[in-house]
Amino acid sequence: WNERFIWKGQTGQDADGYVLFSSAKLGIRAMAMLLRHYVQYNGIITIHGLITRWSPGNSEEVLAYARYVKNRCGANLVGVSALLEAGQCIVTVMITYENGEQPYTASLIAAGIRLSHIQ
């Protein structure tokens, strides 16, 4: 948690340092904003690059995570526009991977992503 930057709806952090939000929709908004930033401003053009930036760590874990997202959203997603167009799939699959299930409806995820375009 970076105390110099406060996300909309941020309520604190958990024991592992992950930011907590007042609603799932605002957490999804923050996730979508970060992912879009990685693609548009950090030169990331592949799912592997996106997952590596999002979840740095053990290379085997990152490879498994990236493979999971690629298999569900498209192994050939390369380039800024392709990643941005696949945003809802990527966000949905990443949430599923990290939770072991999908706790949110497609409409809630879409609403969070729509909010990510509003500063």
pLDDT digits (tens, 9 = 90+) for 33-81: 999 999 999 999 999 999 999 987 788 999 999 999 999 998 788 888 9
**Other Cβ atoms within 10 Å of 14 Cβ, number:** 9
**pLDDT at site 3:** 58
Average pLDDT score over the chain: 90
**pLDDT at site 58:** 80
Torsion angle defined by CA atoms of residues 33, 16, 103 and 72, in that order, rounded to the nearest 10 degrees: 60
